[in-house]
Structure formats: C-alpha cells, structure tokens
Chains A and B, each alone.
Chain A
C-alpha cells in the first residue's frame, strides 16, 4: 500500500515540477534587450523646468505583449480571465474582442499586440514574467531613438514620421508585433503600432512646482493640476502624454497595449 502511494505522490510532484519548469522555459523565450543608463532631455522635467531625466540600466521587452502571450497568461491566472476580473481592476471593455473568456479566437492573431487591457492587468502580466511596467522616463528614452540614433527627436523627418502614424485612424486592424523598423536598441514598435501603458501614468498631471503648495486654492494637489511639460514642439510625445494623463487604471481601449521591463543588477552611476 505504502509504495504505490509514495510512487503516485512522487509522480505527481514530478509532473508539477516539469510543468513549472516548462512554464519557466516558455517565459525565457521572451526577448528583452539591455538599455544602458542614460541622462536625457525629457518632456516631463523632474524639476518642472528643464532638468534632465535619468534612468538606470534596465532591460526592455523588444516587442509589446501579444494576444498569444496574454492568452497563456489568462489560462494560468484564472482571476485575469474576462468574466472573472473584478470591476475594480478592469472596465467592461476588458478583452472585449476575444471570442471566449480564455481564448482570443479566430478573428484575432496570436502575433498581434494585446489591447483592451487595463493598467492593473498589464501590471499583473509583467509581474508574472518577473518584470514590471516601464516608467514614463524609461519609455520616453527608448522611444526617442530611431534606427541609427539614440535621440532622433530633433529631426524634422522623424517628427513627420511620428505624426503620420498618430494621424492614422485607430479603426484599422492591428498589425503583428515586430513589423516596424528595429530601433538602435533593438526594440520594435515604440511608435506605429499601439499606445502603451507606463507604470507611473497617474503622475503625469501632477505639477512639479512645490512652491504652489502654499496656495489655499491649489490644495487639491500638493502643487497645481496644470501639466508642466517641456519639449512643446514634439507633438508625438505631447499626444502620448495627453492620452496617458486622461486614463484611469481600470480603463481599456482597442489601441492601448503594453510591454514590460526588467531590472538589471547594474546601477546608474
């Protein structure tokens, strides 16, 4: 009696172990690229005036998270299936185009970026990958690059290219990830595919001017509600900021997806 019991237990533990390691392997296939520490001109100066933003070295997903990847995630994490997720964490549009609660179905493709996901859902997905959402500065740094340059933002042709995408109707069917030009870091789709969640999107509308704290008319914020934005000529970035600052964490829309970043052990000097 004892022996078969022990054997079955062993077998089940072994199976569970294999399953877990298979999952771990699958997770490792996701490509992340290293983004070296940087200091750069930002549309959201940390002092509200003109200070540079600084980021430590981190690793960023080369491509946004896809329908196929998100489907695997909801199959493992029942609480993130459509129909299961609490209203606190995602609005009624969550995964709306999917054919089933745990399947994107025949009308979507595994390689398209997942959209109709809330900030909470994106955060949970990234954590499941041992990662987190990028901060605005991390996203902005990588988005400033084109194919040859770290910072292409002052190039009129680059801005033109951005604007062409931002003026395209959002009703078009989404292309698969990884089809836009690879930028200098080896990252795809920073522009030209979907909008992306950032970890600190709720901080964008908050003024950076501390002196305003003493004004009794401005007590809603410690500071004013006015957006303090530098780099006003960069419309593509302005549009991102305007969109992000209009969101709530449970919102979902058809052209808003996400990618994740990982910490590295190297620190910025």
Chain B
C-alpha cells in the first residue's frame, strides 16, 4: 500500500520535473482548446502595459480588438493613428464601442518605457478600460510586427519609418481587416468591426 503510494509519488514528482524541464518554455501547451493556426494570439510574446502589468498575447484571447504599432516620439502619424481610431469609434453604437479594445504597441520600447506610455495615456485622455498602450521586449518587436505585417526601420536620427495599418483581430486573434490609409474612415473596415463584434464568443 505505502509502497504503491510511494511509487505514485515518484511518478508524480518525475512528471513534474519533466514538465518543468520541457514544458515551461512553451506556454501554448498549457491551454486546452487550440487557437486557430493563423491566430496571432499564439505568439509567445508578453507585453507590458502602461501600468507595468504583463500581458501575454494568449491572455488577449476572447477580446476583439484593433491593434497597431506606434512610437510615442512620432510627431505626425502616431497622433493620426489615435485620431483614426477615434473616428472609427464615432461610427459605432455605444455598446459596440464598449466591447472593442484598442491596443497600441510600441515599436520603440527602449524609449517607450512604462512611465512614458502612462504619460501618453493621460495626455491623450485614453480610457484604460478600452485602450491599452504596451511595450514588447526589444527583442520581440520585429516578431510582433512580422505577424501583423507591419514594416519598420529605425533611421539614423532614431525616428522610425513604419507602415501604420490598423489591424482588426477577432476574439480568436485572427486578422479580419486592415485599414491601410490613416486619416479617413473606411466603410469596409467599420463594417468588419461591426461583424466581428456581432459574433458569438466561441468556446
């Protein structure tokens, strides 16, 4: 009896050790239902938001959102990104607006520290319930940009040139629409947002 229990304990401990050794590096294994093969939420990247809270891509599952990449030192296009997001909002009903999240991820995490992001949140009067500013680890920026199809290059003067699309993700993290041109509200994009928000959450 005790021998059997002892054996069970050994097996349990061994499997713990093995899963610790081989499992930790792969958070995707810890969830039960697999994400769709094209889901961006599969990306093993953890961001830090404007309050310094860690946010893994996986934890965004279940949330329809518009994601884009910016850098706070940008003087022209990044303010326009926020204006365009607000213009999309203006086309939505209040309940739709409330269920949509907006995630702005920094291309420039070296300069966009948590306090810098927090300051921008306050200056732009963005409501943390519906907006998140976040920074990836510097070594994860290119990877996140790659899954989003965002191209960027840092210039000699530390500014960035980048493609500035707004990208609509459904609750499973799939890209459902892109708004390539900022500064004007694209009807197809707004329709896509409404369609995604109208979908029932899937298990």
Binding site for B on A (CB under 8 A): 1, 4-5, 8-9, 12-13, 16, 20, 46-48, 51, 78-79, 86-89, 119-120, 123, 132, 199-200, 202-208, 210, 213-214, 216, 219-223, 248-249
Interface check B40, CB cutoff 8 A: yes
Kindly provide the distance from the CB of B5 to the nearest chain A CB, expressed in whole angstroms.
9
Q: Is the CB of B181 within 8 A of A9?
A: no
Chain B residue with minimal CB distance to A245?
B151
Interface check B101, CB cutoff 8 A: no
Q: How many angstroms between the C-alpha atoms of A205 and B151 in the bound complex?
A: 8
Q: Is the CB of B161 within 8 A of A208?
A: yes
Q: Is the CB of B153 within 8 A of A206?
A: yes
Chain B residue with minimal CB distance to A225?
B163
Chain A residue with minimal CB distance to B43?
A88
List, in ascending order, chain B residues with CB within 8 A of A123's CB.
143
Q: How many A-B residue pairs have CB under 8 A?
A: 113
Chain A residue with minimal CB distance to B21?
A16
Q: How many angstroms between the C-alpha atoms of A1 and B18 in the bound complex?
A: 22
Query: How does the 8 Å CB contact mask read for B63-88 relative to A, with 1 for contact and 0 for none?
Result: 00000000000101100100000000
Q: How many angstroms between the C-alpha atoms of A210 and B155 in the bound complex?
A: 9
List, in ascending order, chain A residues with CB within 8 A of B153's CB.
200, 203-204, 206, 208
Kindly provide the distance from the CB of A81 to the nearest chain B CB, expressed in whole angstroms.
12
List, in ascending order, chain A residues with CB within 8 A of B24's CB.
none
Q: Is the CB of A88 within 8 A of B37?
A: yes
Q: Is the CB of A88 within 8 A of B40?
A: yes
Q: How many angstroms between the C-alpha atoms of A210 and B42 in the bound complex?
A: 34
Q: How large is the interface on B (under 10, 10 to 19, 20 to 34, 35 or more residues)?
A: 35 or more
**Chain B contact surface mostly:** mixed
Kindly provide the distance from the CB of A77 to the nearest chain B CB, expressed in whole angstroms.
8
Q: Is the CB of B183 within 8 A of A207?
A: no
Q: Is the CB of B37 within 8 A of A12?
A: no
Q: Is the CB of A221 within 8 A of B151?
A: yes
Q: Is the CB of B163 within 8 A of A221?
A: yes
Which of A203, A205, A214 is B76 in contact with, Cβ under 8 Å?
A: A214
Kindly provide the distance from the CB of B8 to the nearest chain A CB, expressed in whole angstroms.
11
List, in ascending order, chain B residues with CB within 8 A of A13's CB.
17
Kindly provide the distance from the CB of A80 to the nearest chain B CB, expressed in whole angstroms.
10
Q: Is the CB of A222 within 8 A of B14?
A: no
- Per CB-CB distance, the 10 closest pairs between chain A and chain B, nearest first, are A203-B153, A249-B146, A87-B37, A46-B156, A223-B161, A206-B153, A202-B151, A222-B77, A206-B161, A47-B156
List, in ascending order, chain B residues with CB within 8 A of A89's CB.
42
Query: How does the 8 Å CB contact mask read for B145-158 relative to A, with 1 for contact and 0 for none?
Result: 11101111111110
Which of B17, B145, B157, B165 is A12 in contact with, Cβ under 8 Å?
A: B17
